[in-house]
Amino acid sequence: MQLNLSDKNFCLFLLTQFPFASDDELETMLTDYLPEHFSMPPGEWWEELTGKTEAPWDGYTYVHRLNEAVTFFAEFHPNETIYFFNDTYLGNTGGNFHLSLLRWTELQAIISKDETDPSLLFFMLLPLVAGNRSELAEITAAITDHLKEMALELPADQLEILTRFLGSHLIFGEEESDIFEHLPDTGWAINRNHSERNRRNRAEDLRSINQLIGSATL
């Protein structure tokens, strides 16, 4: 199985990995919009990617070496994708999702250094990103550009709609919950509960994840 943006099935799978993505104009979630407007991957393809069962699990793992210090892993399970830097858990997209980890500037730093397939890496990491309203224009432009690299051949109106969906996953309506704060002695933290960078996490855990993310951006 080829995990790349030339595979329409994999492109559509990637778009299902954004549990917060919604659109106020259409009054729907991205997970509901996709099967109404696209021919989704068949069950056999899905089972090959994620495995048929959680235990024993025999799904695929996406592996991408970011630099000498950090390798990014994404394990595709039947009901969730689980993310790691090295052997450190970053989050998951399942029912008890744990995301909102990376700042937009950190994602950009990681992508800017990739010489293999930056658009694929962008979409693999994007579910983990939280953004601020002040970054909306930049986020929107980047999402649009990377969507054009998918094999979906999106018309202009659908490109705009999907861009809005994905942008809403990053930027919540409540301004306070969008903002990362740099805490003394521990580093960046966020108010969102479903994050390994939640400001209420233990100081040593925050320091550890911040050091690892810092290494990933070098």
Per residue of the chain (218 residues), what is the pLDDT tens digit?
Answer: 889 999 999 999 999 999 999 998 999 999 999 999 999 999 999 999 999 988 899 999 999 999 999 999 999 999 999 999 999 999 999 888 899 999 999 999 999 999 999 999 999 999 999 998 889 999 999 999 999 999 999 999 999 999 999 999 999 766 655 589 999 999 999 988 889 999 999 999 999 999 999 999 99
- Number of domains into which the chain is organized: 1
- Answer whether residue 3 is part of any domain: no
* Phi/psi of residue 141, nearest 5 degrees: -65, -40
Does a structural domain hold residue 168?
Answer: yes
Distance CA 52, CA 59 (A): 8
CA separation for the pair 204, 206 (Å, rounded): 5
Q: CA 24 → CA 160, 173, 178, distances in Å?
A: 13, 11, 18
Can you give the residue range of the structural domain that contains 52? Answer: 8-216
Instruction: Tell me, yes or no, whether 207 lies in a domain.
Output: yes
Domain-located, residue 212: yes
Give the global pTM. Answer: 0.95
Does any domain span residue 195?
Answer: yes
165 lies in some domain? yes
- β-pairing verdict for 129-130 and 180-183: unpaired
**Assigned domain for 117 exists:** yes
